Amino acid sequence: MSIISNIEWTDSTWNPTRGCSKVSAGCKNCYAETFAERFRGVKGHPFEFGFDLRVIKEKLYEPIKWVSPRKIFVNSMSDLFHEKIDDEYIYKVFSVMKIADWHTYQVLTKRPERMEKLFSSKLKEFAKCEHIWIGVSVENKNHGLQRIKVLQQTNVSMRFLSIEPLLEDIGELNLNKINWVIVGGESGPRARPMKEEWVIPILESCNKAQIPFFFKQWGGVRKHETGRTLKGRIYNSFPRIESKEAPIRQTIVDKLKIAASFI
């Protein structure tokens, strides 16, 4: 669940919390819940408690120990802004991201209201960290468009949209202040289909605004059969990432000491 990820738009995942609860239509066939619940009751397994929300303190320092710079999806198995995670722990997670600044972090939420509130208060010091990308999930007009508005109002440097699973036509988008857009269809045995005519207006919005566009997948019951090709090509664009050298061992030791002193 950490070192290497099969998610096309990241390199690794880091889960300082596990578990979540459903808030909207995009959560219906949650891959993380399906995976976690398979192991409920298996003593000693990371998901012994299924998809119940849990803080995993032993994972907190993990990115500091990773020497090679990488893109890290934060909480692929949870939502960092879940209402049951206290403000102080969220602050600690962001402190680790600030300390281990040779990585690029991708933080994705379906709870932007809490996110926006924290970035105007407790998380204000992290607002200018360009290596921390803040994103919202978008699945339909009802929930997704409002999340985009809240993200645009949030005091952060890098903003992105994960429009997955795309469940309906959401039309052309106002992408003011947005730095990156991902689009993908739902996958798995109960996958809801995505239509090409829903994707094209989003691509056109990105082209007009000159925003990097990443097409993740068509999805379906067997996503590898449907592939990632849109209009005859693969879209793999990312925002510009500042090249950073891997830290030397002593730097990592020093960073861990710094983290331990106040986290």
Domain range annotation of the chain = 12-262
Q: Does the bond joining 165 to the residue before it have cis omega, within 30 degrees of 0?
A: yes
Residue 111 is encoded by which pair of tokens? Answer: 């709870």
| Strand 12-14, strand 180-184: pairing | unpaired
- Residue 224, pLDDT above cutoff 90: no
Calculate the CA 198 to chain-centre distance. Answer: 22
What local confidence, expressed as pLDDT, does residue 118 receive?
Answer: 99
Residue 112 is encoded by which pair of tokens? Answer: 């932007």
What local confidence, expressed as pLDDT, does residue 30 receive?
Answer: 95
pLDDT (mean) for 82-105:
97
Answer yes or no: are the C-beta atoms of 81 and 114 closer than 8 Å.
yes
What local confidence, expressed as pLDDT, does residue 164 receive?
Answer: 98
What local confidence, expressed as pLDDT, does residue 243 receive?
Answer: 79
Alpha-carbon distance of 139 to 158, in angstroms, equals 21
Its pTM stands at 0.94
CA-CA-CA-CA dihedral for 167, 172, 176, 178, to nearest 10? 40
**pLDDT tens-place string over residues 113-161:** 999 999 999 999 999 999 999 999 999 999 999 999 999 999 999 999 9
What local confidence, expressed as pLDDT, does residue 2 receive?
Answer: 55
Alpha-carbon distance of 99 to 104, in angstroms, equals 12
Answer yes or no: are the C-beta atoms of 185 and 168 closer than 8 Å.
no
Answer yes or no: are the C-beta atoms of 37 and 50 closer than 8 Å.
yes
| Strand 12-14, strand 54-55: pairing | unpaired
**For 250, what's the count of Cα atoms within 13 Å in the CB-facing half-sphere?**
0
Of all residues in the chain, the percent with pLDDT exceeding 70 is: 98
Question: What secondary structure, in 3-state letters, does the chain show?
Answer: CCCCCCCCCCCEEECCEEECCCCCHHHCCCHHHHHHHCCCCCCCCCCCCCCCCEECHHHCCHHHHCCCCCEEEECCCECCCCCCCCHHHHHHHHHHHHHCCCCEEEEEECCHHHHHHHHCCCCHHHCCCCCEEEEEECCCHHHHHHHHHHHHHCCCCEEEEEECCCCCCCCCCCCCCCCEEEEECCECCCCCCCCHHHHHHHHHHHHHHCCCEEEEECCECCHHHHCCEECCEECECCCCCCCCCCCCHHHHHHHHHHHHHHC
Residue 122 is encoded by which pair of tokens? Answer: 């407790």
What local confidence, expressed as pLDDT, does residue 250 receive?
Answer: 79
Owner of token pair 């990432």: 241
Task: For residue 251, name the pLDDT band (cuts at 50, 70, 90).
Answer: confident
How far lies 240's CA from each of 160, 180, 207, 237, 249, in Å?
A: 13, 10, 16, 9, 27
